Amino acid sequence: MADVFNSESPERRIESPAPTAMPMLAAAGITLAFTGLVTSFAVTVIGLVLATVGFVGWFREVLPREHREEIPVEPTIEEALIVRLPVAHLRAGDEDHRARLPLEIYPYSAGIKGGIAGGFVMAFLATIHSIVLHGSPWYTLNLLAAAAMPSLATASAATLATFNPQAFIVALIVHAIVSLLVGLLYGVLLPMLSSYPILLAGIVAPLLWTGLLWSFVNVIDPVANTRMDWPWFVVCQIAFGITAGIVVGRSEKIRTLQHLSFALRSGLEASVTDSEDRE
């Protein structure tokens, strides 16, 4: 690098205000002075002393004459460089269009497959939990159906442990819709956070979703909130997230085709190849 600088150009200097730490010392003293109002009087005294020293030193930098020093001036590009170095321009996206991240996403089918797989794992764990703690595979299922059937929200434990065809259909529909929607959401979000996709899908997202759901259920239906086993619910959510995240993460990504117009991407218009255009 020493060869690219012109050593024959004379060194130039300009006068500039001398650097000083007194303003920072004064600011720290003022902060300590106010902090002592809620802690200790000794802290206030120390702060006032520091602030006084800072302000006096600051004033002495400019009165009676401003303290200045000479600094060397760096040569300009025209003066310093002998050869012009090539520059490689960054091109993001296709066909010189500005890139919109992510450049690649998972297909919607990957999110659907992840939601289905995670839904089966979550349903299996919920059934095992219902059999072990309540002696019936229908307790957790009826409790899920209580979100759309108010009569089950106040039902006894014995009623929730019995098979209810209507509750079975309602719970199956609710579980399927939620699993598919969350799976599609994973398919959209995971490409944006590609560093730790399993951590996001398996830990962060389930915990956020569980906390949000707990706050809603606690206000809307406190009775159902007392019946839900929230620690086990978190385990089921994490199992769902890890399964869906693995299925989605192993799917092959597709390009977003962002260089194409909206009409082409939405299918309103068809692209014409060069051979077709010549014909």
pLDDT value at position 220? 66
pLDDT value at position 4? 43
pLDDT value at position 189? 75
Residues 116 and 180 sit within 8 Å (Cβ to Cβ)? yes
The pTM for the full model equals 0.53
Residue 238 token pair:
């994490």
- pLDDT averaged over 10-residue windows placed end to end, the chain, 279 residues: 46 72 85 82 86 88 78 61 55 54 76 90 90 88 81 81 88 89 81 67 78 71 74 87 85 72 63 45
pLDDT value at position 124? 92
Range list of H helices, the chain: 22-35, 41-62, 77-80, 108-134, 139-145, 150-153, 157-160, 165-189, 197-199, 205-220, 222-227, 230-249, 262-265, 274-278
pLDDT value at position 279? 46
How many residues are recorded in the chain? 279
Q: Which residues pair with 104 in a beta bridge?
A: 255
Separation between Cα atoms, residue 145 and residue 224, nearest integer Å: 11
Residues 99 and 258 sit within 8 Å (Cβ to Cβ)? yes
pLDDT value at position 117? 92
Q: Which helix (H) or strand (E) holds 37?
A: none
Eight-class DSSP state of 100: -
